[in-house]
Structure 1
Amino acid sequence: MIKMSQAVASAVLVSAGLLCAGLPGGTALADSGPAGVTVEGSRPHITVVGEGSVSTTPDIMRLDTGVEVRRPTAGAAFTAARTAAADLTRALRAAGVAAEDLRTDELTLGPEFREYPTISGYRATQGVEAVVRDIDDADDVVEAAAAVGEAVRLRGISFELSDNSTPLRLAREAAFKDARSRAEQYAKLARRGLGRVLEITEQSVTPPTPVLGFAAAVDRASISPGRRDVSVSVRVLYELE
């Protein structure tokens, strides 16, 4: 589904005649907002900015999880964390996560103090990021991680697109169509014909930003990726006839 945004576009008509004599009907050209001006000799041009946005559904989930343990000694804490992390990895693999989609993203070991400098014990953590490439498996993966034991920590999830090339292409088409429509309107207001395209500049591309959050797997299919927008802004320079 393509949605056209209402972002502000800038348009300026420039020529030797327009600058000296004003627009047809005796109204002088006034610009109350930002604008770009391009002049080649006495030929008029118009610069517009068009925007296009495409709504799409993410198809990948990233699960940020890990383990955390506390033990009286550093060695015991580290060993317990490594064991718990191995159990977590096996559970994620059994739930369908591929080995190459598992990544260790944290490994810590340090003392905890009852009252400084008295050490009360040691805390060890190991983080694991799991990439779930089938959203339908999201609940099963989260449940498998949570079932490993009390050492497991579920920190959150994010969603993204595995391939944003198609929505980007559609957003570019929408942005260019928007720019054309704006240019035609301004050309008509200036009593001119819209000529050839002289320059196209892609000003900005906004891919779907990963949105963080966490939904506990209480009911089946409780985790939903929602929808995200892919947006493109394009600046187009037209010649006026």
Structure 2
Amino acid sequence: MDITVVGEGTVLAAPDTLRLYAGVEVRRASAAESFTAARAAAARLTEVLRQEGIAAEDVRTTELSLGPEYEAYPKVTAYRAAQGVEVVVRDLARADRIIDTVAGVGEEARLNGLAFEVSDPSGPLSEARTRAFRDAAGKAAQYAGLAGRPLGRVVSVTEEIGGGPPQPLLRAATMAAEDASSINPGRQTLTVTVRLGYDFA
């Protein structure tokens, strides 16, 4: 006879990396003009990011598109060209400045969203595993007691790792007052779910 229980361990970790999704978008009378203008704007964006200290390997192209826009098909009113990039910001203290820099590229600039992450989650996940295992072991011991049987050894272990959206980061009022940043990374929820199989002695 055996028993299988599920335990969960959750920790909150402060993100230290920002992924900024940005780009440029233009509309011109011809496809060639639109594409040329978009590439020129994208080059300006890449250059200002370089000047702000963003490494080349931290800028990745995520979109390159060109197509007509219609007033009433098949009449073309303009051609839209866009180029999108994902920018990795490894110093969150500079996040606002980087965002302002992107916006300052000109009317072609686009800000399409952002995401925070923990660059090295190994420490928080290790703690979450410990909590998950203890949670499962406690349940197994309880069930064994209810069944009136001694709990045997662990015969199987499976794991699932998940994460939730950033939660607001609670800080002292004085710290919040001193921080003029509009970007708040919050805290990332990291969860480990472990399934333990025991046999009964």
TM range (shorter): 0.7 to 0.9
Tell me the residue number matched to 1:233: 193
Residues 96 and 141 in structure 1, CA contact (< 8 A), matched pair in contact too: no
Q: Which range moves more in the overlay, 130-139 or 188-197?
A: 188-197
More helix by share: 2
Local SS of the residue matching 2:64: strand
For residue 191 of structure 1, report the CA deviation from its aligned partner.
3.4
Tell me the residue number matched to 2:120: 163
Among 118, 143, 152, the residue aligned to 1:186 = 143
Q: Report matched runs for 1:1-241 at 5 Å.
A: 39=1, 45-202=2-159, 204-206=160-162, 208=163, 220-241=180-201
Greater relative contact order, per chain length (Cα 8 Å cut-off, separation 6+): 2
Residues 194 and 240 in structure 1, CA contact (< 8 A), matched pair in contact too: yes
- Give the letter for the 1:116 counterpart: Y
* Residue-by-residue CA offset, 1:57-88 (whole Å, 9 max, x unaligned): 22111111111111122221111111111111
Residues 165 and 189 in structure 2, CA contact (< 8 A), matched pair in contact too: no
Local SS of the residue matching 1:224: coil
- Give the letter for the 2:161 counterpart: V
More strand by share: 2
Q: Distance in 1 between matches of 2:143 and 2:62?
A: 54
Q: Which 5+ residue runs of structure 1 have no aligned equivalent? A: 1-38, 40-44, 212-218
For residue 194 of structure 1, report the CA deviation from its aligned partner.
2.9
For residue 197 of structure 1, report the CA deviation from its aligned partner.
2.2
* Residue-by-residue CA offset, 1:89-122 (whole Å, 9 max, x unaligned): 1111222211111111111122222332222222
Q: Distance in 1 between matches of 2:198 and 2:78?
A: 71
- Give the letter for the 1:52 counterpart: G
Percent identical pairs in the alignment equals 54
Instruction: Return closer, same or farther for 1:181/1:227 CA change in 2, 3 Å cut-off.
Output: same
Local SS of the residue matching 1:226: coil
Residues 8 and 133 in structure 2, CA contact (< 8 A), matched pair in contact too: yes
Q: Distance in 1 between matches of 2:41 and 2:142?
A: 65
Residues 66 and 79 in structure 2, CA contact (< 8 A), matched pair in contact too: yes
TM-score by length of 2: 0.85
Q: Which 5+ residue runs of structure 2 have no aligned equivalent? A: 167-178
Residues 17 and 89 in structure 2, CA contact (< 8 A), matched pair in contact too: yes
Instruction: Return closer, same or farther for 1:115/1:240 CA change in 2, 3 Å cut-off.
Output: closer
Residues 160 and 210 in structure 1, CA contact (< 8 A), matched pair in contact too: no
Residues 15 and 185 in structure 2, CA contact (< 8 A), matched pair in contact too: yes
Residues 179 and 234 in structure 1, CA contact (< 8 A), matched pair in contact too: yes
Residues 61 and 135 in structure 1, CA contact (< 8 A), matched pair in contact too: yes
Give the count of matched residue pairs.
Answer: 189
Residues 197 and 238 in structure 1, CA contact (< 8 A), matched pair in contact too: yes
